Amino acid sequence: MLKDTINILCKHYGLSKEVVSFVISKEKLLEDKYKNIDEIAEYNHYKVINSMQEVKLTSSDFNWTTGYGYGDIGRDKVEEIYSIIFNTEDALVRPLIASGTHAIYLTLSGLLRPNDEFISITGSPYDTLQEVIGIKGNHKGTLVDYGVKYREVPLIDNRINVNEVIKNMRTHTKLLFIQRSTGYSNRRAISIQEMEKAIKAIKDYKKDIIIMVDNCYGEFTDIVEPTDVGADIMAGSLIKNPGGGLAYSGGYVVGKKDLVEQVANRSTAPGIGKECGLTFGMTRSILQGLFLAPHIVAEALKGAMLIGIVYKELGFEIVPDIDDVRSDIIQGIKLKTPERVVEFCKGIQRASAVDSHVIPTPWNMPGYEDKVVMAAGGFIEGSSIELSADGPMREPFYVYFQGGLTYEHCKLGAMMSLDNLYKNNLITKNKLTI
């Protein structure tokens, strides 16, 4: 790093020279791994460009309609582009899908009927989804409230326990659910290769079972996606990976045509489905974000690896480990105390371009059982492809770092989070020696 750059970090951001030097020294250990990430990004970038060329995207497609949204050619092309990228028969991509959880709920509620059963085959899902299902909280309109049955099969050695899944499938088991990402857990994300092996074995046993994947945080981290290896339907958020930091809002569902149609009917009304729904002028930002997404995901992956190795070298457990195959952009760090989690998030917030002066504090965030502390200073509110971090206030006190539109921003976040721990005596200072 240039001497002038180090000086600005120390002078303008108040960072300790020990912290800056420590992070720089660990960065050098990752150069070979960064090369592999760049290769994946290049492949995916060409894939995205090809999909836009294939539908003959034109500047007039960025215009938008009013009212019902009939004849919105841009909207239709967005959905065709998504279906090409994810190798599926159809897609639903709408700005009014509020979040990844909303996209998943739409999919599950669109496909499941009273007395149908679905099984989470990657153990307990993410906190917000537990409330959607109805196994946590006390909300009306949950899947359980509507008569849907639910069970889960734990992972074994961080892998899908195929034998146990098959043993648990019953005549009324309609859908198997895979959460690709880490979530608020101590496991790494499920790799595409592991998914492919599990899906093949399950489909050999019961061909017509629906396999659904929650793809949040996983898009473009590999050259293939779950729908390339047999997943029937998949859902995600536009303010995570595929939105590239430019989509204001939205979510997507991709998969088999008959399944996407059922979800579309749930999102509007039977008989209307995909034919209605305004894009509110967001077609340009959705597609421009998608165009940038492979590169931005690569930047976020490099940032996750950097912060992972920094904290591993300080003696903290990390998930995934440095040599693990990465299947999402999240880096979990077991900080062991609530004070460390809060100070880490304060450092990430301080590194933000937006709301850097705001101080994160644990609060009762909707959809979560425990208080959550969250650092999120993004240009798009809640956009976790931007530099962000959060963690629930519960044992063993993991913090989850994700996002970063540029690697340099991730690096600044790594330095500021560590600087906060260093200055508050929450790490052993002699460990910062190089």
Q: How many domains does the chain fold into? A: 2
What's the CA gap between 248 and 243, in Å, rounded?
8
336 and 351 co-located in one domain: yes
108 and 167 co-located in one domain: yes
Q: What's the CATH number where 353 sits?
A: 3.90.1150.60
**Residue 51 falls within a domain, yes or no?**
no
pLDDT tens digits, 396-407:
999 999 999 999
Which of 233, 258, 290 is at the close of a domain?
290
Q: What is the pLDDT of residue 366?
A: 74
**C-beta atoms surrounding 53 within 10 Å:** 10
Average predicted confidence (pLDDT) for the chain: 95
387 and 423 co-located in one domain: yes
232 and 206 co-located in one domain: yes
Which of 262, 290, 318 is at the close of a domain?
290
Position 307 confidence tier, pLDDT thresholds 50, 70, 90: very high
Q: What is the pLDDT of residue 161?
A: 97
pLDDT of 326 above 80: yes
**Residue found under tokens 């906060």:** 420
Identity at 178, one-letter amino acid code = I
281 and 354 co-located in one domain: no
Position 332 confidence tier, pLDDT thresholds 50, 70, 90: very high
169 and 198 co-located in one domain: yes
Position 433 confidence tier, pLDDT thresholds 50, 70, 90: low
268 and 130 co-located in one domain: yes
Contact 426, 337 (CB under 8 A): yes
| Strand-pair partners of 105 | none
212 and 277 co-located in one domain: yes
**Residue 54 falls within a domain, yes or no?**
no
pLDDT of 234 above 80: yes
**Residue 53 falls within a domain, yes or no?**
no
**Residue found under tokens 């709301």:** 355
**Residue 56 falls within a domain, yes or no?**
no
pLDDT above 70 covers a percentage of the chain that reads 99
Strands 331-334 and 173-179: unpaired
| Tally: H helices and E strands in the chain | 12, 12
**Residue 341 falls within a domain, yes or no?**
yes
Q: What is the pLDDT of residue 6?
A: 79
Domain that holds residue 72: 62-290
Higher pLDDT, 16 or 196: 196
Identity at 260, one-letter amino acid code = V
What's the CA gap between 108 and 357, in Å, rounded?
40
**Residue found under tokens 């519960």:** 394
* Range in 34-48, 85-99, 299-313, 358-372 with the lowest mean pLDDT: 358-372
Q: What's the CATH number where 103 sits?
A: 3.40.640.10
Both structure tokens of 21: 């030097």
318 and 284 co-located in one domain: no
Q: What is the pLDDT of residue 354?
A: 96
Q: What is the pLDDT of residue 46?
A: 98
For range 243-268, the mean pLDDT: 97
Q: What is the pLDDT of residue 5?
A: 80
pLDDT of 74 above 80: yes
Q: What is the pLDDT of residue 370?
A: 84
∠ at Cα 124 (238, 205), nearest 5°? 90
**Residue 308 falls within a domain, yes or no?**
yes
Which of 269, 290, 311 is at the close of a domain?
290
Position 130 confidence tier, pLDDT thresholds 50, 70, 90: very high
219 and 132 co-located in one domain: yes
Q: What is the pLDDT of residue 1?
A: 60
97 and 147 co-located in one domain: yes
36 and 97 co-located in one domain: no
pTM, rounded to two decimals: 0.95
For range 319-330, the mean pLDDT: 96
**Residue 403 falls within a domain, yes or no?**
yes
Q: What is the pLDDT of residue 336?
A: 96
**Residue found under tokens 């991730």:** 410
Q: What is the pLDDT of residue 185?
A: 86
Nearest Cα residue to 155 out of 120, 109, 108: 120
pLDDT tens digits, 132-176:
999 988 889 999 999 999 999 999 999 999 999 999 999 999 999
Peptide bond into 320 cis (omega under 30): yes
What's the CA gap between 181 and 170, in Å, rounded?
26
Nearest Cα residue to 391 out of 306, 332, 317: 332
